[in-house]
Amino acid sequence: MLLQRTLSKSDFQLARSCALKLHWRENGLPDNRAFNPYLQLLADGGYMVEALARAMYAGGTMLESSGNATADAARTLELLREDNITLYQATFLAGRRLVRTDIIEKRGNIVRLIEVKAKSFDGAEHASSLQSGGAGVFRSKVKGNAILSPWIPKFEDLTYQVLVIERALPGVTVQPFLLLVDKSKRSALDNLPSLFALVRHEHADGSTRLLSADFLGSDDELQKLDLLTEVDASAEVASLRETVDTAATLFETQLDAPFATLTPPLGPHCGDCEFRTEPIAESGFAQCWGTLAAVAPHALGLFRVSSVSDTDGTSIVTALAREGKASLFDIPEARLSKKDGSVGPVAERQLRQLRHSRAGTTWVSATLRDKLQGLTYPMHFIDFEVSRLALPYHAKMRPYGQVAFQWSCHTVDALGATPRHTEWLNIEHAWPNMAFWQSLRAVIGDSDCVLTWSPYEQGRMNELKTEHEHFMDRDATLIEWVDGLKGRIFDLHNCAVNDFYHPGMGGRTSVKVVLDALWKSDDAMRDQYATWTDASVSVSSLVDPYHALPALEIAGVVQDVREGTGAMRAYEAMMYGVEKTDVEAKAKWRSLLLQYCKLDTLSMVLIFEHWRRTYTQRYPEE
């Protein structure tokens, strides 16, 4: 019999987050995660981890998918007649349940199932916990030792595979293991990407997707790349068997179910549903929400909407939807207060959004003037770009360790002065973090005022402070400088949350959102931008500078960098990609990176200046 639809392990995971998502996937509706650059970057790292894992469990047979699951499963069973065999990407089919396993090792009647995950854990802490009688790092320390929520999907995935293999291979004993990236280990090799052969597929829109990776290193290099740790997951799988089996049985019955028989569980989680795609009318989101999908402004756009409940504890979004409502303005203000009538800082921001969106007015706090006037010139507006990969670029780094590869700074020397721009971008193959810091220090000094748009920059310097001793002798100057940074960093994002509101911001507060909201209506901002730049980029009120950033054609593909993940991908392409020896292509990647990071810090100055103009008009000095 030809199976129309099967429940793969990724289908199972998707359905666990929302059963309707499985329905939309089965019916081929567009999914915005397929083009999510951050998820793509993670997927790329995952391919390299899998290639390293196959090198660790060497000598296996790779089973490429033929596109016919039934034939692939039959081939797997045929090979498993052997007593001793290792298979990569083996296919198992049991009823409508389908899994492709990363690695299995069959030794007689025992099948070791090894699921490779690019997720990191602390292997040393886990081992230490188990040795001292604890439950390990995947479980709560309180009574019952429940599996911690971030790990549940990983163990459920493994449990689903165990259940399918047991049905497909009656009589065998399946021993489940996770093979995880171990952040308590450090790489002993430099230039790690050169040890992998990457095969990429290019889409028509110019984006690329990694199709496969192979480890090319020697046995010696494999030993030095000891970054993965195998974890026995038998106890976790045993505890999840019943839950997973029950859920899988339900999802199997829903594979062919018509939409009319399903009830969308509408709630705040719908805000970032992968089936909320454009054009909205053709999306799964639109079908789940019906006429409420197009309501604007939508209740889902409220700042931290998941924190708001109805009187019975139901999420306010769910409660409104039951009444046939979904407008931001349908949210009762009373629901934003605590039981004692007080209003916390999150609710204050929510109330501001409701009131000023309804009135179409901007709001500025009476204290913003004091906050900004308390800052002293020169002021340095800074932004960092940092990359993290499961398998790190440089020797002595831990998995997902930071590579600080770029900073941008706009310095304003005095009130009304034109901002001066400085920048740094790594092009060397050595670990760059100390050069990053030294070049930054040369610009922002030891005592000047530093402005950022989040705690991110402080966090990155704190990490450098603690990590640098793995690479070199302790640098007391660095430690002292980073400690001193705490007292001189001013986070503008706090002002975007607590001291300012523009209806164009809605529930969002990123520098790009705030700039976009102000750009359309602030002639003075556009004039400043034109004056401070060479105005080679359009300054139309309709297109803000982020959207106007020019793309470049590199090796025949149009590329752009408009957000942080794009910057990470561009850096990876410039330093380690197929064009790494192409001087012209490298120069173009460099140009894209520089123009993007420069705009982030220039935007911060433009917003700072807008705020100064606004409070001066609203609260003229007496």
Which range binds ligand SF4 by CB under 6 A, 14-22, 100-108, 459-467, 554-562? 14-22
Question: E strands within 167-307?
Answer: 173-182, 196-202, 208-215, 228-232
Q: Quick one: 266 or 409, whose CB is closer to ligand SF4? A: 266
- Any contact of residue 285 with ligand SF4 (CB under 6 A)? yes
- Any contact of residue 18 with ligand SF4 (CB under 6 A)? yes
Question: C-alpha 411: how far from its chain's center?
Answer: 30
The C-alpha atoms of residue 282 and residue 277 are separated, in whole angstroms, by: 8
Structure tokens at 492: 């503008």
Q: Quick one: 298 or 349, whose CB is closer to ligand SF4? A: 298
Q: Quick one: 309 or 494, whose CB is closer to ligand SF4? A: 309
CB of 271 to ligand SF4, least distance (A): 9
Q: Quick one: 8 or 61, whose CB is closer to ligand SF4? A: 8
CB of 283 to ligand SF4, least distance (A): 8
Task: Identify residue 142 by its one-letter amino acid code.
Answer: V
- Any contact of residue 275 with ligand SF4 (CB under 6 A)? yes
The C-alpha atoms of residue 172 and residue 571 are separated, in whole angstroms, by: 47
CB of 150 to ligand SF4, least distance (A): 20
CB of 313 to ligand SF4, least distance (A): 20
CB of 336 to ligand SF4, least distance (A): 23
Task: Identify residue 81 by its one-letter amino acid code.
Answer: R
- Any contact of residue 273 with ligand SF4 (CB under 6 A)? yes
Q: Quick one: 290 or 550, whose CB is closer to ligand SF4? A: 290
Name residues whose C-beta falls within 8 Å of residue 504's C-beta, 6 or more positions apart in sequence.
513, 516, 517, 518, 520
Q: Quick one: 21 or 96, whose CB is closer to ligand SF4? A: 21
Q: Quick one: 176 or 264, whose CB is closer to ligand SF4? A: 264
Q: Which residue bears the tokens 């604007």?
A: 296
Count of residues that bind ligand SF4 according to CB under 6 A: 14
DSSP-based three-state secondary structure for 116: strand
Which range binds ligand SF4 by CB under 6 A, 69-77, 146-154, 267-275, 578-586? 267-275
CB of 305 to ligand SF4, least distance (A): 13
CB of 164 to ligand SF4, least distance (A): 25
∠ CA(442), CA(446), CA(452), 5° rounding?
Answer: 85
CB of 269 to ligand SF4, least distance (A): 5
CB of 11 to ligand SF4, least distance (A): 14
- Any contact of residue 266 with ligand SF4 (CB under 6 A)? yes
DSSP-based three-state secondary structure for 153: helix
Query: Among residues 268, 284, 432, 577, which is the contact residue for ligand SF4, using CB under 6 A?
Result: 284
The C-alpha atoms of residue 269 and residue 18 are separated, in whole angstroms, by: 9
Q: Is the dihedral of CA 325, 329, 333, 338 positive or negative?
A: positive
The C-alpha atoms of residue 177 and residue 232 are separated, in whole angstroms, by: 5
CB of 265 to ligand SF4, least distance (A): 5
Within residues 20-49, the interface with ligand SF4 by CB under 6 A covers 20-21, 24
Query: Among residues 7, 103, 198, 270, which is the contact residue for ligand SF4, using CB under 6 A?
Result: 270
Helices 564-576 and 37-56, axial angle in degrees (round to 10): 50
Q: Of 370, 212, 350, 209, which is closest to residue 268 (Cα–Cα)?
A: 350
The C-alpha atoms of residue 162 and residue 113 are separated, in whole angstroms, by: 8
The C-alpha atoms of residue 245 and residue 176 are separated, in whole angstroms, by: 16
Q: Of 79, 101, 232, which is closest to residue 166 (Cα–Cα)?
A: 101
Element holding 355 (H helix, E strand): helix 345-359
Q: Quick one: 15 or 178, whose CB is closer to ligand SF4? A: 15
Q: Quick one: 274 or 516, whose CB is closer to ligand SF4? A: 274
Residue 500 burial by Cβ neighbours in a 10 Å radius (0-12, 13-18, 19+): buried
The C-alpha atoms of residue 477 and residue 446 are separated, in whole angstroms, by: 11
Within residues 236-265, the interface with ligand SF4 by CB under 6 A covers 264-265
Q: Quick one: 315 or 433, whose CB is closer to ligand SF4? A: 315
- Any contact of residue 288 with ligand SF4 (CB under 6 A)? yes
β pairing state of 110-121 and 173-182: parallel
Which range binds ligand SF4 by CB under 6 A, 36-44, 283-291, 472-480, 579-587? 283-291
Q: Of 428, 426, 435, 430, which is closest to residue 478 (Cα–Cα)?
A: 435
Which range binds ligand SF4 by CB under 6 A, 154-162, 209-217, 269-277, 351-359? 269-277
Residues engaged in binding ligand SF4 (CB under 6 A): 18, 20-21, 24, 264-266, 269-270, 273, 275, 284-285, 288
